[in-house]
Amino acid sequence: MTRRAYAIIVLAAAACEPGLSGQPPTEISVEDPGPSHGASPNTDLHNLWDPPSPTPVDPWTEPPVEDGQGPFLTRQLLVQIGEGVDLGDLAVRHGIRATVAPGPRGIGAVEVPVDDDPQALIAELQSDSDVQYCGRMGLIVGSADGWAVEHQWHHDETRRPEELPRGLDAFTVAVLDTGVAYEDYVDEDGQAYVLAPSLASTTFVAPWDFVNGDAHPNDDHQHGTHLTSLIASDGDVVGVAPGVKIMPVKVLDHRKRGTELALIRGVDHAVDNGAHVINLSLSFPPGYVPSPLLQRALQDASQAGVVLVGAAGNGSVNEVTWPAASPHVIAVGATDPQGDRAPYSNWSTQLDLLAPGGDLTSDHDNNGFPDGILAETVALGDPTRTGLWFVEGTSQATALVSGVAALRLAVDPDPRAVVGVLQKESSGGFHPERG
């Protein structure tokens, strides 16, 4: 997912990857089969375990943006230009077209003409004194895959305190993902979005959508809201750190896919707007080599005192994927309800932590529900309908660690101590095969 086009980031939700869980996330819908906002405490869960309603697009199997070959886009290049240089003029000089205007770092994008060789164009642009960097663009893909609190078994594993630390509302977790169901809103095309009920008391700050270029990063998939619910919900389901502020940053589209450039800008936005923790439940596929531009963005964020938490990936391989593989990111793998590494989770000595990610193929407590991670989100294909879903994946594990990181910062605001404290508090000490 990198070279002269855009690199692909694959988010880690195993439930979203065929062959890992064997089924899509299970929805716990409410009594009314239509649009709903939760269920009553007296609702029988066993009668509510229904699969998600059919949608016109299958986001789990749809091919990646553009051509979908490997971790990079073939017709988009990542370009960094010098100060005072106009990317449009530079593109005209080389007979190409600029597609994304440069941001604060001078990073933008250009299109490779259909009949041109991308590698030859990279070499041509790199020889231009106005160009500081040119390379392939990576593509990002999503990795995941109250009355219902009794089914949130992950709280026991994360050792969430009964009494939350004071001052938690002074801290912000940025969720870089498919967006969040954080507002009631109708866009210019008439598409409606709703606020997830369990997030109604959450304070949202500095929202931004790097996919559509506006200030309304609503969730048109369901991945980002599920993660946010695990961090901050306070309703039918409860997050690890209810009361923490959430910064919704959309870098993935309705198919859980986005560009390396969107990720870089998302990280910069989070840092510039005061995030204390950045949740990166996404990963690049095998073959991706990080651009120096992404590496610098992660390094700058870490040096600014931000805790970055990333998903190790759901490929069940001895490898941690980027951006979790960065030395500036806490790499998180997933465990099942027994505390063992989940069968889909990547592993490696590069892992920093293992956290509950769930296992949709098991029901160890025999309650009639799969052992996934339960949280609220929107329905696939219908962002006006909310419900509770069981999902598995290193994405979910990453969100839980982000929430716990916020709790730790409220106790001790030193970001350098977070990973060491969490490893020390893990049962029996940290080991890449167990939590």
The total of other beta-carbon atoms located within 10 Å of residue 158's CB is 21
Give pLDDT < 50 ranges for the chain.
Answer: 1-68, 144-147, 428-435
Give me the residues paired with residue 234 across strands: 238
Sign of CA dihedral 50, 236, 334, 204: positive
Cα 402 from Cα 74, distance rounded (Å): 34
Give me the residues paired with residue 176 across strands: 249
* The pLDDT of residue 111: 93
CATH homologous superfamily for the domain 9-64+141-425:
Peptidase S8/S53 domain (3.40.50.200)
* The pLDDT of residue 40: 28
CB 339 within 8 A of CB 435: yes
Domain 72-138 is found in CATH 3.40.50.720: no
* The pLDDT of residue 119: 93
Domains of the chain by residue range: 9-64+141-425, 72-138
Q: Hey, what are 185's tokens? A: 């809103």
* The pLDDT of residue 32: 24
Per-position b or e across 190-216, b if 16+ CB within 10 A of its CB: eeebbbbbbbeebebebbbbbbeeeeb
List, in order, residues 6 or more apart from 115 with CB less than 8 Å away. none
What phi, psi does 28 have (nearest 5°)?
-100, 100
CB 334 within 8 A of CB 394: yes
